[in-house]
Homo-oligomer: A and B are copies of this chain.
Amino acid sequence: MAERKATNIKWQDSQVKRDEREKILGQRGCVAWLTGLPGSGKTTIAQHVEQKLIHRGVACYVLDGDNVRHGLNEDLGFSQEDRQENIRRISEVAKLFADAAVVTLTAFISPYRDDRFKARKIAPEGRFFEVFVDTPLDECKKRDPKGHYKKAEEGIIKNFTGVNAPYEPPDIPELRITTMGSTPEESADQVIAFLEEQGILPGAAASSGSTA
């Protein structure tokens, strides 16, 4: 790679660096990686964060099952190998979005610690935040928004996280969200407050001055 760039000297290097991009656009890219059991509330919380940030004028985007599983990763199933490839590709796409200065949220079960660790390594340094949506299994089963827990317990769905496939909770997530007794909107506010503390977003009240 170094060689390829070095031989390319006849062309002026016009590539925009992330620092420059962020300074001019007045916002910082990051990956907020939401992980948790099926039905824990990841996508809903992520979408609320997105809606709030867009309304603040911050470019923000959610990668989730709906826009990734049926497109980029439509060739992948639910074996352990395919799940790993699923998460690997999402990690790479999230990295590109973060590089583009977009506040990026991913909402995938991502049950394996090792896969989440790899996602962290791929992301721009210091811009990856693991957000554990820590809803107890019993509560997820009760909510069962897609009816998948029921089907898994009846043996109709195999390899379903929480029933017949493992979930490895984060040891030290950057943020842990307890959804019991909170609305998705309140959970979203927690994520936003966290991103403000990290200097990714300017504070709503008193700006931290960390972004333009």
* Chain B residues positioned under 8 Å from A61 (CB to CB): 96, 99-100
5 interchain residue pairs of minimum CB distance: A72-B92, A61-B100, A14-B47, A71-B92, A11-B44
Interface size on A, residues (CB 8 A): 50
Known A16-B50, A16-B54, A100-B102; contact A71-B59, beta-carbon cutoff 8 A: no
When all copies of this chain in the complex are counted, the total is 2
Find out whether the CB atom of A11 lies under 8 angstroms from the CB atom of B184. yes
Cβ proximity bits A51-84 to B, threshold 8 Å, 1 near / 0 not:
1001101010111001110111000000000000
Find out whether the CB atom of B8 lies under 8 angstroms from the CB atom of A145. yes
* Chain B residues positioned under 8 Å from A95 (CB to CB): 71
From B1, B41, B72, contact of A70 by CB (8 A): B1
* Chain B residues positioned under 8 Å from A97 (CB to CB): 96-97, 100
Tell me whether A122 is interfacial, beta carbon within 8 Å.
Answer: yes
Find out whether the CB atom of A96 lies under 8 angstroms from the CB atom of B99. no
Per the bound structure, the CA–CA distance linking A99 and B61 in Å amounts to: 9
* Chain B residues positioned under 8 Å from A72 (CB to CB): 89, 92-93, 96
CB distance from A16 to the nearest CB of B (A): 5
From B25, B47, B92, B122, contact of A59 by CB (8 A): B25
